[in-house]
Structure 1
């Protein structure tokens, strides 16, 4: 079963309420997405820690309903 882009955004924003999230469906199949997530919560964290925060927000959907997520994370520009 594919995962909807709106659901991905909802899950990320519920875990990182201050975030801005952009989701693109890369293949049109609902399984392969690209996401850009900007959040103050990432400040001081390594890229690996930032990505883990996003994957944790997806509540175990990675590898299941969501096959692939090309992820870019950053903190807001000052």
Structure 2
């Protein structure tokens, strides 16, 4: 049986080529799962935060019916490499980066 995190990784891999991916899932929360995703991909280079999030949401489409909440941390490799620990902490993703 495939875990929810493995299924999320699979749907993201089908649409986005990523360099770094971390997925945290809190299962069965009020009618769905709570996902927290950190993804670093060239697909986000030159994109606004909103554009990057829309790419992730689009890729995540097959899992949306069972999703209660989706928190996205999406960065280009360049932006990710410039972020130090303090910046990652401020962004809210240092604990699972």
- TM-score by length of structure 2 reads 0.66
Cα separation, 2, equivalents of 1:28 and 1:65: 10
Which has the larger helix fraction?
2
Unpaired runs of 5+ in structure 1? none
Structure 2 spans left out of the alignment, 5+ residues = 83-97
Greater than 6 Å deviation, 4+ residue runs: none
Q: TM-score with structure 1 length normalisation? A: 0.80
Q: Which has the higher contact order (CA 8 A, sep 6+)?
A: 1
Give the aligned CA root-mean-square deviation in angstroms.
2.0
Query: CA separation of 1:43/1:23 partners in 2, compared to 1, >3 Å: closer, same or farther?
Result: same
**Aligned residues of 1:31 and 1:66 also touching (Cα < 8 A):** yes
Please name the residue that 2:58 is paired with.
56
Q: 1:28 to 1:18 in 2, by over 3 A?
A: closer
Task: Label 1:19 to 1:66 Cα distance change in 2 as closer, same or farther (>3 A).
Answer: farther
Higher alpha-carbon Rg: 2
